[in-house]
Amino acid sequence: MSKWNLIIDIENCTNCNMCVLACQDEHVDNSFPGYAEEMPKHGARWIEIMRKERGQAPMIDVAYMPVMCQHCDDAPCIKAAENSAIKKRADGIVIIDPIKAKGQKHIVESCPYNAIWWNEKLQLPQIWIFDAHLLDDGWKQPRAASVCATEAIVAKKVTDAEMTKIIESENLEVLHPEYGTKPRVYYKNLQRYNKCFVGGSVAAINDGTTDCVKGATVKLSQNSTMIAEDTTDAFGDFKFDKLDEKSGIYTIEVSAEGYSSKSIEVDLDTSITIEDIYL
Amino acid sequence: MGSLKFAVILFGLRLLFLLQALRYQAFRDRLKEKNFTAQIKTKDNSIGRWFTFKDGKISSGSGIKIDADIILTFKTPEIAARLLMPPINQLEQINAMKDFLISLEGPDNLALWFTQTVMQTQTIGWKYGVDMGDGMTRFTNMTNGGPVFLYVKDNKLIRITPIDFDDSDPDTYTIKARGKTFKPPRKTTLAPHGMNWKSMLNSPDRLLYPMKRVDFDPAGERNQQNRGSSGYERISWDEALDIVAGEIKRIKKEHGPGAIANSHGSHHTWGNVGYYLSADFKFINAVGMTRVLHNPDSWEGWYWGAAHHWGGSLRVGQSETYGTVEDLLKEAEMVVFWSSNPEGTSGAYGSLEGTVRRKWLKELDIDIVHVDPYYNDTAQFLGGKWLAPKPTSSPALSMAIANVWIEENLYDKDFVEKRTTGFNKWKAYIMGEDDGVPKTPEWAAAETNLKAKDIRALARKWGNRKVYLAAGGWGNGHGGACRNATGIQWARSLVCLMAMQGIGKPGVNMGNLQWGTPVNTNFYFPGYAEGGMSGDLHHTAMSVELYQRMPQLPSLNTVEQAIPRLWLPEAIMEGKAEGYAWDGKSIEAQFSKVSYPKPGYSPVKMLYKIGGSIFGTMADTNRHVKMYRSPNLEFCVSQAMYNEGETKFADLILPACTNFERPDISEWAALGGYAHHGQTQLNNRVAIFQHQAIKPMGESKSDYTIFSMICERLGLSAYFTEGISELDWAKRIFDASDLPQIISWKKFIKKGYVVIPPEKEELRDPLSWNWYYEGRKKDVPEPMPLPSDYKDGYLEGIQTQSGKIEFEAQSLKRFDADDPERPPVVKYTRPFEPEHEAKYPLRMLTPHPRFSFHTQGDGKDSYINNIKDHRVEVDGYYYWIIRINAKDAKERNIKMHDLVKVHNDQGGVVCAALVTERLPQGSAHGYESCATYDPLGEPGNSVDRGGILNLLTPKKSQIKKGHSMGSSTALVEIELWDGKAEHNVAPAIAAE
């Protein structure tokens, strides 16, 4: 039995908001009986784009992460709902019955991903429904995926076994696996959002002129164990990514031919940019 | 013989009327609209037939009715037969009108109704859209953000989607580069403001009825001082049109020519018939109006600066744009994005087409550098090295790069020798030989706040390597830093850099994958700048091609007076203004001075405003607010879709419908004119029949219809419309294009779109500038420069005096060699006074908005307001975003989403703060082009919480001898908002 999964590549999300706008286009002022009632024009973010800036000028990066109903296989909302108001379809999609769920505000609280939105006017908990109404009508992709110019959002209908292979080959992760809800929404390059980096540039003064040092070897270690090595580019820049936030003290050792080495320590709280390391 | 034919045709027309009435309810409804008699006849009355319309019934007979209400007369039966026999030859009809072989007498409203009804006998049976079952029809349309399918059920728009191609649509291009194969998806992309359109269609701010300001009485007190403060009352279309037509007549007679001015935004809703360059220009010319002369707003530095060094005046000073996508992907080692944020501007009309290609860039081993004070959307997407110069300081950076290249022999000496002139003058300035100041990286570091080592590293990484320079969103110049106070210096200095690196060498060119795809540029469809139905050969690009392809009545504005737009408020309030022309026909055309008032013309007394609000787009906006409240303007009418910003300052409001509610035709990204072959932004060329997907809301009407109804009251409707409807004009544009070669009209209007097949690989356009680099004749498919601008021979060399790239511009030497603002060799000067900088220490960038398009899509309760990087809701109000550096914010005790007042001596704007590391200290960033104007006190004299940051931007022209906005950077202070409506508050941070 093939089921729907959503794959989101954070590396390719540009924050264009086309998925968000397409969701509003589809659901505001439109009701799809059996699937979803109208989405409020404001105040509901069935698809929400989270922003993460890392580092400090002049070396930063910015990631955007679309978050929506994770269509969990072990969804807490299904357990929380009374009256069997929430169903897991055979194809993996979670649907909140717009009639049975009326008045059940507690369903909103059940979602650890904060992806259920309370519609005050209709007294309904609501989610991004994976555009199940369109998929059932023969559409190939939910709208959020079909409007994405970078294919940062792609829906895949495959068996769970096939999906397991894709997860491995493409290094996919779920948000907060510790919740144990088995989401069907997978993320690629999640480190851009939930990990941090140490970066900086290496410079030296030669004959009174300051220059970037290209080709310097930079080693990152913690507790005397080397973790990673990088070589500086034409701007003298180096960067170590995929580090955990608040992961303690690291040592950065810089060496380059013709210069004496330099070693500095950083206490990593969150991403940090070391402006200039002079050799 | 002619007599018999004519009689038969007339008899046939009677049958056609009856037949179509029998077949179509819509036609029966149309016939019920008027009761009158129309007579068609020869001049000598020998042949004739009358048609009487009464309560929906038609009676007709041969012969002459002397009391007919309207009379259509042909000089002879032969002429009549020739003109009326299908297929109709439009050129013959136009010629017959010009030669007075046809005349039409009688009231305009009946005459126009009759001719349009005759045309409807041909069009009434046409079938539009694709039936999707269950009562749903899929229509097509075009937004400024790209082509769309519109799913409509029971006259309600259900959804908007981009277009997925079907199996019958042609394939798209393939590019092979560095062992990879790149092929775009078989669908169209859409920009956010296109995806937003359902909320724009159904906006609660839609104008649905004609409205009159309650304290405006055309026969009594006008209360001009209350514009923007007093409310409105609904009036009928008849009353509204009578007031407008009555005021046009009165003002023309009372004050003389020039007393009516027409103002429009830079962009309209899409469609070659309804666009402002089409319908509005015909209207301007029909009535005779003072034009509000636009400045080259997205090209300032290139037009006033770069063109003097490398020509290209007909591209507003930008670079050629052909073949660069393939060349960049195959050859380039690095791309320098310099004030270039294509992800933030969607290529203006290019949707997210370039985004698809820039994703390919990420898959190749090409280094990327971003030079922008803001870590912009493109930097976010592509990554790479970020260099953040202090806003407006970029010219100093270019000069330092040139300095390193000269010092270290990192430039193409052969190219400089053979293809350029004046290098020694440039070198002398760069090395400090003439002013004693070498423009070293250390010198530039002090100007830019960059580090000298980074400048040197960039110069070394660039010099004598295969590097693409992307300037502005289009990559070839459009947008970006050319709009700030040093924009001219910047654009000029970039040309000098490219001249030093041998532009046109494989891998050395201008671009960022936004323009220059291998689509077929030889297939013709008119761009919007070609003027549609305007007949205007003077102010549109119609003469390039459309005029011969689509014969139409020429139109000419008899009023030669114009107001330079940057000084519109001064012109109205102070009675005079001066500027320079935006005219691309030659490099020197920009040296023509424009003065208002023009001798012998009346000052402006009436303003006819059409389109979206331009308040948010104009520097020092309070001037515009005050202009509206001036007694010098006796009457202001606004023809608009929305009750927004500027609309609320009119005496009378005429509700226009959107382009989803009227028929039109267009091609995606077909710009024409100064943006020739704008379709090379696309991965697939797509032409669209813009269906009237739903009926006009309320009593709103299309711009075309509103103009023609005013013209009816001025006796000008036959001239304005040529007797036909906007649907008929759309058909004429179809016939004028190359579309009939690939699709029939009936199939086109049913399916709604057609994909223009891509060019065969062996026939793709040659690479821009490569002809120049190699010393060949020009071979790229652009009809510019004009033939007389060549020296050695046609297509040999470029437009400059020497035919070469000139480091020292001969045109500027001829014009004013001593102009300190624009000397023949570009020099760096700082734009701001030190005292001013001390008082307002933050340099605020105001680029184009990312999600909305000019004022389209912003405010109006649209979906876009929900986007956290566009507006933020605080206590129920959606505030504009101002981005502020984290340290600057901390010093001011400002936290994320705090309400702050951005202010300077010109005014104050309440925004929500977005605290960020994407700006270096001392900079701020907020979009221009907000649609809302929401003064908290007296309009023009109080704090605005709508978000018009242009209230704070400098109105000063970049150079005195130009008409050139330099407003994209302003000096401001930002502080927590104290809740007050007054704006003259001392800055929170004292100068140090």
In three-state form (DSSP H/G/I as H, E/B as E, the rest C), the secondary structure along B135-149 is CEEEEEEEECCEEEE
Verify that A101 and A187 share a domain, yes or no: yes
**Segment 152-171 of chain B within 8 Å of chain A by CB:** 158-162, 164
Q: Do residues B457 and A213 lie in contact, with contact meaning Cβ atoms separated by under 8 Å? A: no
Q: What is the domain extent for residue A43?
A: 3-193
**Segment 172-211 of chain A within 8 Å of chain B by CB:** 203, 209-211
- Report yes or no: B189 at the A interface, CB cutoff 8 Å: yes
- B451 contacts in A (CB within 8 Å)? 210, 276
pLDDT digits (tens, 9 = 90+) for B275-313: 999 999 999 999 999 999 999 999 999 999 999 999 999
From A18, A151, A236, residue closest to B192, measured CB to CB: A18
Verify that A20 and A155 share a domain, yes or no: yes
Number of other residues whose CB lies within 10 A of the CB of residue B60: 18
Would the pLDDT of B992 be above 50? no
Mutate to test the interface with B, among A20, A25, A193 (most CBs of B within 10 A): A25
Q: From the CA of A134, how many Å to the nearest CA of chain B?
A: 12
Verify that A34 and A123 share a domain, yes or no: yes
- B333 contacts in A (CB within 8 Å)? none
Q: What is the pLDDT of residue B453?
A: 98
Q: From the CA of A88, how many Å to the nearest CA of chain B?
A: 27
pLDDT digits (tens, 9 = 90+) for B596-645: 999 999 999 999 999 999 999 999 999 999 999 999 999 999 999 999 99
Q: From the CA of B198, how many Å to the nearest CA of chain A?
A: 6
The residue in chain A having the minimum alpha-carbon distance to the alpha carbon of residue B346 is A16
- Give Cα B96 distance to the centre of its chain: 35
Would the pLDDT of B988 be above 50? no
Burial grade of A42 (CB within 10 A; 0-12, 13-18, 19 or more): middle
- B869 contacts in A (CB within 8 Å)? 15, 17, 51
pLDDT digits (tens, 9 = 90+) for B406-423: 999 999 999 999 999 999
Determine which of A3-7, A74-78, B93-97, B456-460 has the lowest per-residue pLDDT on average.
B93-97
**Segment 206-245 of chain A within 8 Å of chain B by CB:** 209-212, 214, 233-237
Q: What is the pLDDT of residue B803?
A: 98
pLDDT, mean over chain B: 96
Mean pLDDT of B789-811: 97
The residue in chain A having the minimum alpha-carbon distance to the alpha carbon of residue B376 is A62
- B918 contacts in A (CB within 8 Å)? 53, 57, 60, 62
Mean pLDDT of B448-461: 98
Q: From the CA of A48, how many Å to the nearest CA of chain B?
A: 9
* H/E stretch holding B731: helix B726-736
Q: Residue B545: which residues within 8 A CB-CB, separation 6 or more?
A: B524, B526, B530
Verify that A168 and A183 share a domain, yes or no: yes
- Report yes or no: B196 at the A interface, CB cutoff 8 Å: yes
Domain ends where: A193, A223, A247?
Answer: A193
Q: What is the pLDDT of residue B347?
A: 78
Q: What are the b/e assignments for B787-813, b being 16+ CB within 10 Å?
A: eebbeeeeeebbbbbebbbbbbbbbbb
Verify that A41 and A105 share a domain, yes or no: yes
Tell me chain A's radius of gyration from C-alpha atoms: 23
- A271 contacts in B (CB within 8 Å)? none
* Positions of E strands within B448-573: 467-471, 509-510, 562-564
| CB-CB under 8 Å, A236 with B383 | no
- A60 contacts in B (CB within 8 Å)? 375, 386, 917-918
- B166 contacts in A (CB within 8 Å)? none
Residue B286 and residue A21: Cα distance in Å, rounded?
41
Mean pLDDT of B934-945: 96
Residue A62 and residue B841: Cα distance in Å, rounded?
26
Q: What is the pLDDT of residue A89?
A: 98
Verify that A205 and A186 share a domain, yes or no: no
Q: Residue B544: which residues within 8 A CB-CB, separation 6 or more?
A: B530, B672, B673, B783
In total, chain B counts a number of residues equal to: 992
Tally of domains within chain A:
2
Verify that A103 and A153 share a domain, yes or no: yes
Please determine, for the modelled complex, whether the ipTM score is greater than 0.90.
yes
Q: What is the pLDDT of residue B903?
A: 97
Mutate to test the interface with A, among B189, B917, B923 (most CBs of A within 10 A): B917
| CB-CB under 8 Å, B343 with A14 | yes
Residue B157 and residue B150: Cα distance in Å, rounded?
7
- A16 contacts in B (CB within 8 Å)? 192, 343, 352, 355
- Report yes or no: B136 at the A interface, CB cutoff 8 Å: no
Q: Do residues B160 and B149 lie in contact, with contact meaning Cβ atoms separated by under 8 Å? A: yes
The residue in chain A having the minimum alpha-carbon distance to the alpha carbon of residue B387 is A58
Backbone angles phi, psi at A101, to 5 degrees: -85, 0
Would the pLDDT of B398 be above 60? yes
- B920 contacts in A (CB within 8 Å)? 57-58
Catalytic residues of B: 267, 297, 528
- Report yes or no: A251 at the B interface, CB cutoff 8 Å: no
- Would you place residue B2 in the very low, low, confident or very high pLDDT band (cuts 50, 70, 90)? confident
The CA-based angle B915-B921-B925, given to 5 degrees, is 55
* H/E stretch holding B689: strand B685-690
Mean pLDDT of B644-650: 95
The residue in chain B having the minimum alpha-carbon distance to the alpha carbon of residue A237 is B385
| CB-CB under 8 Å, A25 with B863 | yes
Mean pLDDT of B635-656: 97
Would the pLDDT of B349 be above 70? yes
| CB-CB under 8 Å, A25 with B195 | yes
- B873 contacts in A (CB within 8 Å)? 42
Q: What is the pLDDT of residue B984?
A: 65
Q: Do residues B488 and B528 lie in contact, with contact meaning Cβ atoms separated by under 8 Å? A: no
Verify that A176 and A204 share a domain, yes or no: no
Verify that A67 and A126 share a domain, yes or no: yes
**Segment 891-930 of chain B within 8 Å of chain A by CB:** 916-921
Residue type, B735: D
- For chain B, percent of residues with pLDDT exceeding 70: 99
Q: Cis ω on the peptide bond leading into residue B834 (within 30° of 0)?
A: no
Q: From the CA of A45, how many Å to the nearest CA of chain B?
A: 9
pLDDT, mean over chain A: 97
pLDDT digits (tens, 9 = 90+) for B675-717: 999 999 999 999 999 999 999 999 999 999 999 999 999 999 9
| CB-CB under 8 Å, B873 with A42 | yes
Q: From the CA of B384, how many Å to the nearest CA of chain A?
A: 9
Q: What is the pLDDT of residue B85?
A: 87
Burial grade of B482 (CB within 10 A; 0-12, 13-18, 19 or more): buried
pLDDT digits (tens, 9 = 90+) for A136-154: 999 999 999 999 999 999 9
- Would you place residue B983 in the very low, low, confident or very high pLDDT band (cuts 50, 70, 90)? confident
Verify that A36 and A72 share a domain, yes or no: yes
| CB-CB under 8 Å, A62 with B919 | no
- Report yes or no: B283 at the A interface, CB cutoff 8 Å: no
pLDDT digits (tens, 9 = 90+) for A223-239: 999 999 999 999 999 99
Q: What is the pLDDT of residue B267?
A: 87
| CB-CB under 8 Å, B885 with A29 | no
CATH at residue A260? 2.60.40.10
| CB-CB under 8 Å, B868 with A235 | no
- Regarding beta strands A196-206 and A209-212, do their DSSP bridges make them parallel or antiparallel, or are they unpaired? antiparallel
| CB-CB under 8 Å, B851 with A149 | no
- Report yes or no: B383 at the A interface, CB cutoff 8 Å: yes
The CA-based angle B942-B947-B952, given to 5 degrees, is 65
Verify that A71 and A170 share a domain, yes or no: yes
- Report yes or no: B872 at the A interface, CB cutoff 8 Å: no
CATH at residue A120? 3.30.70.20
- N- to C-terminal Cα separation, chain A: 61
Mutate to test the interface with B, among A21, A23, A211 (most CBs of B within 10 A): A21
From A12, A64, A237, residue closest to B385, measured CB to CB: A237
Would the pLDDT of A179 be above 70? yes
Verify that A10 and A118 share a domain, yes or no: yes
Domain ends where: A160, A193, A226?
Answer: A193
Domain ends where: A193, A217, A241?
Answer: A193
| CB-CB under 8 Å, A17 with B192 | yes
Would the pLDDT of B987 be above 90? no
**Segment 338-377 of chain B within 8 Å of chain A by CB:** 343, 351-353, 355-356, 359, 362, 375, 377
**Segment 429-458 of chain B within 8 Å of chain A by CB:** 451-454, 456-458
Q: Do residues B128 and B749 lie in contact, with contact meaning Cβ atoms separated by under 8 Å? A: yes
Would the pLDDT of A160 be above 60? yes
- B375 contacts in A (CB within 8 Å)? 57, 60, 62
Residue B373 and residue B378: Cα distance in Å, rounded?
13
